[in-house]
Structure 1
Amino acid sequence: MAVVPHTPSRGEIIDQAYRVEGGLGAGGVGAVLRATRLRDGCEVALKRLHLQHAADAEARARFEREARALNGLEHPHIIRMLDFGFDELGPYLVMELLEGRSLDRVLAESPIPPEQAVALARQVAAGLAAAHAEGVVHRDVKPENIFVVQPDSPHPLAKLLDFGLARFFDRDRWAEKESLTRDGAVLGTPLYMPAEQSLGQKADTRSDVYALGVVLFEMLAGAPPFDGADRLALVRAHAMSPLPPIDQHRRGLTLSPALHAVVERALAKDANQRYADAVTLHAALASVPHPAAWLR
C-alpha cells in the first residue's frame, strides 16, 4: 500500500509556534507551507519533510544540513532562515516568505530581456559568492532554485533557495568538513551540472560557476545549451559538445563580445579554465558594458 504523505491542514498548529495557512509547494520529499508566526503574526514559509521521510536518517540529515548552511548565510540574494526546530512529526525549517515566482516559471512565461538576465545572474552570483566565502558549495543551482521577487518590475530581485544538497568545505585546505555523499555518488540536476559533477567527482565552487553559467545561457537563449531526457547523452554533451550559439533559439538576439566571453568561460569544459568561484564570476558580469553598448 502506498504511503500517503501527511499534509498539514489550514489552521493546524506546529510546535505551538506556527499556524498553517496553506500550501506553497510540494516535492517528493517535503512540502513548503505558508504559515503565521503566532508570537507576532508574521507570515513565513515553513518547510518540512513528508511524514514517510521524517524517519529516514539520510533525508533528515540533508534537511538539517540545509538549516546549518542557511544559518551561517546572511545575504540579500539568499533566502533568509528564521527558525529551525523539531516537533512530533520531525524537523521543520522556517524562512522568510517571498512573493513572486521561481525563475523556471518566469522563463516559461516569456523571454527575459538580456539586460535583466545579466542583472539576475549578477545577483545570484553575489549570493553564491557569500556562500563560497563561508565554505558552502550549493551543488544544485538551477532555475527552480532561484526565486524572483517582483518578476514583472523593471528591477526584479533574485534569491537563491534550497541548500539541501550543499557541501561544506574548509576554505584553506579544500578538505571536506563533512559529507553525506558517498564517493562516486551523483547529486544535482544533470541539465545544469558540469561533467565532473555528473561523473561523481566532488563538486567545488567551479561547479556552481558552471551551473550558473547554464542558467545565464538559458535566460539569454530561451533554452539551456544541452537538453534531453537521456542522462548519459547529457553528460557526454556537457563533457565534449561545443557550446551552441546563444541565438539558436532566439533569433535576432545580439550580444556583446564581452558577454559572450563571460558565458563561454563560465561554461568551460575544463574546470581549471572557468572562473575560480562566484566572486570572480560576479566581477566579470559587473564589467559587462551597459546594454546600450551590447550591439556588435
Structure 2
Amino acid sequence: MKEGTIISGYRVDGVLAAGNMAEVYEATQLSLNRVVALKLLAPNLSDDPAFRARFKREGQVQAGLDHDHIVTVYEAGQSEYGLFLAMQLIAGPTLKQLITDHTLDPRRTVRLLSQVARALDAAHQSGLIHRDIKPQNILIGPGDHAYLADFGLIKTRDEARLTGTGQFIGTIDYVAPEQIQGEPVTPACDHYALAAVLYECLTSEVPFPTPSEAATLHAHVIAPPPRVSERRADLPSALDTVIARGMAKDPRARPALAAELIQSAARALSTSASKRSGASPSVREDDSPEGGAVRHPAGGRLAPHADSPTAPSRLLQTDPPAQVASPAARTPGGRRRARGVVLVAALMLVAFVAGLVIGLLLH
C-alpha cells in the first residue's frame, strides 16, 4: 500500500508489519488527526468467509475489552481495500525484539509479564481465551507499559472449534500439549504459553529449540519442561519449579490465574536475593502482579461464566535438594547412623585381615 492512500478516512503513512493474514500500517485518522495502527486483512483473504468472520470477531472482542494492558480498537470496518481495524498505536518494540536485542533483567521480566498476566486474567474472566500468547504479541510502550495485542485467534469458551481433526491454532513454540492433541481449549492453554514466554525472557531461548516443527510439537507433548537454572547459573532453581508448574502437561496442574504464575516467579527471585543478602524474603510491590498478593475470585476460580470448565489448580510437588548438614546441625539419630556405618566398616576390615592371616598360615 502506497503512502498517502486513503482507506475509509485513514491516511496510510508507512508500513509497520506484514504477515500472511494481514498488513499493519501507521496511519492518521483524518477526522480526529489521530495517529493509529491500521490493520488491513490481506486481499486474498478478504473474500474468505471464515477469515472475514475471524477478523470481524477480533475487532469486536478487542473493542469490548477495556483494559490498560490490552491494545484498544477504535474502529472495525469494510473498505474498498478490504476489512480493516483501526487500533491504538504503541510507540515501542515488541517483547520479542527486546529478547532478541539482549537478555532481559529478571525483575524487568516479572514487571512486564505481570501486566500481561493482568490483561490475560481480565480476558479469561470475560470468557475469552487468547490462544496465541507469544512475545511478538506483547508490545512495550513508554515507561515499560506492556500491552497484549493480536486477538485474531481469540476463542470464547463455548465456541465450536474452528479447525478440523489433527489441526490446532497457535504458534508452535508456545502451544500447550492439549491444543496439539485436539483437547478442549481453556485458560490453562494461555497460562502454558505465558510460562513459555517467561522462560524465553529469562534465557533468550524458546523452551524447545528443535530442528523441526514436528520435533517441537513432540517435545511439548512428551518432554519435561526446560530448566532455567541449566541455561543461567545465576538464576535460582526455584524458577525451575515455577516454569515446571506453568508448563505442566496436565492443564489442571497449572496455576488457576496468570497472575499467580508471575507472582510465583517474583517470589522465587525475591527469596533468592534475600538469601544472598541475608535479609528476610519478601516480594516487593513493584514485582508483584497486583502490587501485592494475587487476589483470587471467590472459590479460587474464574467466576463470571457459569459454563466455564475451569478446574482447580494443583501444585506440583518437587523433592527438595539434598543438603549436607554441618556437624552442629546433625541429629542424635544421625550420629547413631554414622556410628553404625563406622562399626560395620571396622568389622569388615577385621574380617578381611583375618582372612589374609588364615590364608598365609595355610600356605
TM-score normalized by structure 2? 0.71
Match of 2:118 among 100, 103, 126: 126
How far residue 25 of structure 1 moved from its aligned partner, in angstroms, is 0.7
How far residue 285 of structure 1 moved from its aligned partner, in angstroms, is 5.0
Structure 1 letter corresponding to 2:236: L
- Alpha-carbon spacing, 1:282–1:68, altered in 2? closer, same or farther (3 Å): farther
How far residue 286 of structure 1 moved from its aligned partner, in angstroms, is 6.0
How far residue 276 of structure 1 moved from its aligned partner, in angstroms, is 2.3
Give the structure 2 partner of residue 199 of structure 1. 181
Structure 2 letter corresponding to 1:162: D
Partner Cα distance (1:211, 1:104) in 2: 14
Summarize the alignment of residues 2-41 of structure 1 with structure 2, pairs less than 5 Å apart.
8-15=1-8, 17-41=9-33
- Alpha-carbon spacing, 1:282–1:253, altered in 2? closer, same or farther (3 Å): closer
RMSD: 2.1
SS across alignment from 2:194: helix
Summarize the alignment of residues 134-173 of structure 1 with structure 2, pairs less than 5 Å apart.
134-150=126-142, 155-169=143-157
Give the structure 1 partner of residue 234 of structure 2. 253
Give the structure 2 partner of residue 242 of structure 1. 224
The 8 Å contact of residues 228 and 235 in structure 2, kept in 1 or not, is answered as no
The answer to whether residue 249 in structure 2 is matched with residue 269 in structure 1 is yes
- Alpha-carbon spacing, 1:90–1:117, altered in 2? closer, same or farther (3 Å): same
Segments of 5+ residues of structure 1 without an aligned counterpart are 1-7, 170-175
SS across alignment from 1:185: coil
Give the structure 2 partner of residue 64 of structure 1. 56
The 8 Å contact of residues 23 and 34 in structure 1, kept in 2 or not, is answered as yes
How far residue 190 of structure 1 moved from its aligned partner, in angstroms, is 1.2
SS across alignment from 2:140: strand
How far residue 132 of structure 1 moved from its aligned partner, in angstroms, is 0.4
How far residue 32 of structure 1 moved from its aligned partner, in angstroms, is 0.4
Summarize the alignment of residues 211-226 of structure 1 with structure 2, pairs less than 5 Å apart.
211-226=193-208
Residue range with higher mean Cα deviation, 30-39 or 86-95: 86-95
Structure with the largest fraction of helix: 2
Match of 1:293 among 268, 274, 277: 274
Deviations 1:32-54 (A, max 9, x none): 01111111211000001121111
Structure with the largest fraction of strand: 1
Looking at both structures, which has the greater relative contact order when contacts are Cα pairs under 8 Å and sequence separation is at least 6?
1
Structure 2 letter corresponding to 1:253: D
- Alpha-carbon spacing, 1:179–1:199, altered in 2? closer, same or farther (3 Å): closer
- Alpha-carbon spacing, 1:109–1:286, altered in 2? closer, same or farther (3 Å): closer
Partner Cα distance (1:182, 1:68) in 2: 24
Deviations 1:222-248 (A, max 9, x none): 212212242332222122212232133
Give the structure 1 partner of residue 314 of structure 2. none
Structure 1 letter corresponding to 2:3: R
Residue range with higher mean Cα deviation, 260-269 or 22-31: 260-269
Segments of 5+ residues of structure 2 without an aligned counterpart are 278-363
Identity %: 37
The 8 Å contact of residues 195 and 261 in structure 2, kept in 1 or not, is answered as no
Partner Cα distance (1:70, 1:146) in 2: 14
Structure 1 letter corresponding to 2:261: L
SS across alignment from 2:207: coil
Match of 1:73 among 62, 65, 77: 65
Give the structure 2 partner of residue 83 of structure 1. 75
How far residue 76 of structure 1 moved from its aligned partner, in angstroms, is 1.2
TM-score normalized by structure 1? 0.86
